Amino acid sequence: MARLLRWTALAAAAAMLAAGCGGSSGGDDKDRDKSDKSDRSGGSSGTPTGSAAPTRAAGPALPASLTSQKLDWGRCEAGADSPAPGGDWRCATLKAPLDWTKPDGETVGLALIRSKARGDDRIGSLLFNFGGPGGSGVSALPNFAGTVSALAERYDLVSWDPRGVAASEGVRCRGDKAIQQAESVDATPDTPAEERAYLADAADLARGCQKAAGKLLAHVSTTDTARDMDLMRQVLGDEKTHYFGMSYGTELGGVYAHLFPERVGRVVLDAVVDPAADTLGHAENQARGFQRALDDYLESTGQDPRQGSRRIAELLDRLDARPLPTSSAGRRLTQSLALTGIVLPLYSEDGWPALTSALKAAEEGDGSELLALADGYNERDDEGHYGTSAHSQRVISCLDDRQRPTVEETRRRLPRFEKISPVFGPFLGWDTAGWCHDWPVAGQHDTPEVSAPGAAPVLVVGNTGDPATPYEGARRMADELGKGVGVVLTWKGEGHGAYGSGSDCVDSAVDAYLLKGAVPKDGKVCS
């Protein structure tokens, strides 16, 4: 089954909410000004003087066939070339080593999308990663272009599908029918039989991912993608990497800064993943974050958060025993689907009215609205086809994460999860046991390394009401990046991510940093 609450792609959730939350998806932080003298060469203002820290990216030299490749920018596939602020969209394929320890060996094709800078005063390329892991940048960037219209004047806007994602040899571990069948598996097993079914399903998915990915399964890590980014920088002709990472994209940005500190240009990390949290820590963080967002939602509707959460938990308990009928032929609203439906509208205040309506309908015996919200999160369209971002997310995160919590460890920690959140805790607790169960490839680390001494200032944007990547992660990311590197900008708001979410204070600070090199004062607060 698809993981329920991993840090999801910001753009995908935002697109669903903008569409009204009830439909189906079509698929799946300061006031120190700096001079701007280096803009034309792609450099970054504010880079510390003196020698930069030696690169941590030492390895075999890259062949000219990779570093000197010429990208053939052409018309994009349908859906990726719609007109948007920033100019016409063009797409190309970048060749990168399948195995970065063997740069002369087999390659993997990475799908890129670009809109060239509108103005003459060009800074360079601005790379975007919208999260996941597993989100398609090729699909997301045109939808996000209106939000970053001011940046399009001086940057080429560029994104890509990371290896193992969508058009970059995306992985599909199951067919549509098997995905729908797996939705009936109880994600919070109550009996030995349900536990066996839960783990058997997880093992079956692992086998499907192994069969689908083949050799790629061992080469889709965040470190691999960070190295792809630096190859991208070279091929695009940039001296420095300018980057905007959201959600999981903040972890990717931190890993890149660690590997290539001297090549860090202007980097923004928004909706920040806590780099100091391991697998269990992330699950607890998300339980805390989503419960915090749910409490804020309940308060906004005049409800007592404790009582409101209890009512929702009771509804989920009833659905565990008796799923609700829906208007979708042959489908019922299960406990797991209902929770997924509750999650999506918590990504933005714009989704709160849809949550109110869906919960009311479910209390009255109709599960259709919560099911539609769950389908949006799960990228299920009206024809019953599912997107593959959840599969890509699985193969990337299980290669990154070394921890493999057992069922026994999960049982011991469930009371802690339930105390953090009576609504989301049980699901996230069990998820730690099932997510990488019986995975055929070992994980690489407990936590990612993001220290980047010598790097230029990195703007770290945290939102106090963020459900998926709780605010505390922003300060930890800044601390891990190192003194003088991580600069925190705080927004007292709701939803997943801050930039483009309605705060002129946040937007103007980010724009001034990216366009003029003006680094905000560390600790600046926008309300």
Tokens matching residue 307: 């009582």
Distance CA 478, CA 400 (A): 21
Taking only the tens place, the pLDDT of each residue in 198-249 is 999 999 999 999 999 999 999 999 999 999 999 999 999 999 999 999 999 9
| Residue 306, CA distances (Å) to 263, 309, 340 in order | 48, 5, 20
pLDDT at res. 232: 98
Taking only the tens place, the pLDDT of each residue in 413-448 is 999 999 999 999 999 999 999 999 999 999 999 999
The yes-or-no answer on residue 282 being catalytic is: no
Q: How many CB atoms lie within 10 A of CB 233?
A: 23
Nearest C-alpha neighbor of 439 from the set 116, 275, 210? 210
pLDDT for residue 66 is more than 90: yes
Nearest C-alpha neighbor of 501 from the set 520, 133, 492? 492
Taking only the tens place, the pLDDT of each residue in 10-31 is 444 544 454 444 433 333 333 3
In this structure, are strands 264-270 and 241-246 parallel, antiparallel, or unpaired? parallel
DSSP string of 331-366, one letter each residue: -EE-HHHHHHHHHGGGG-GGGHHHHHHHHHHHHTT-
pLDDT for residue 383 is more than 70: yes
CATH homologous superfamily of 39-171+220-276+446-526 equals: Alpha/Beta hydrolase fold, catalytic domain (3.40.50.1820)
Distance CA 218, CA 463 (A): 34
Q: Catalytic pick from 44, 136, 247, 336?
A: 247
Distance CA 330, CA 337 (A): 14
Between residues 167 and 3, the one the model is more confident about:
167
Q: What are phi and psi of 270, to 5 degrees?
A: -125, 135
The yes-or-no answer on residue 247 being catalytic is: yes
3-state helix, strand, coil in the chain (%, to 5): 45, 15, 40
Q: Catalytic pick from 221, 496, 501, 507?
A: 496
Nearest C-alpha neighbor of 231 from the set 399, 409, 109? 109
Q: Catalytic pick from 466, 503, 507, 522?
A: 466
Place of tokens 């920040």: 272
What SS3 state is found at 42? coil
What SS3 state is found at 30? coil
Distance CA 458, CA 46 (A): 10
Are 118 and 128 contacting, i.e. CB atoms less than 8 angstroms apart?
Answer: no
| Residue 278, CA distances (Å) to 400, 444, 448 in order | 11, 12, 9
Whether this model's pTM surpasses 0.95:
no
Taking only the tens place, the pLDDT of each residue in 297-351 is 999 999 999 999 999 999 999 999 999 999 999 999 999 999 999 999 999 999 9
Tokens matching residue 374: 């769950």
Q: At what angle do helices 279-300 and 305-321 cross, to 10 degrees?
A: 110
Distance CA 527, CA 523 (A): 13
Distance CA 83, CA 221 (A): 33
**Where would I find the H helices in 279-435?**
279-300, 305-321, 335-343, 352-363, 368-377, 389-400, 407-420, 425-434
What residue ranges of the chain are covered by domains with CATH 3.40.50.1820?
39-171+220-276+446-526
The conformational region for residue 119 under phi > 0 = left, psi -120 to 50 = alpha, else beta, is beta
Nearest C-alpha neighbor of 267 from the set 249, 253, 255? 253
Question: Which H or E element spans position 232?
Answer: helix 222-236
Taking only the tens place, the pLDDT of each residue in 78-90 is 654 443 444 489 9
Taking only the tens place, the pLDDT of each residue in 389-417 is 999 999 999 999 999 999 999 999 999 99
The yes-or-no answer on residue 51 being catalytic is: no
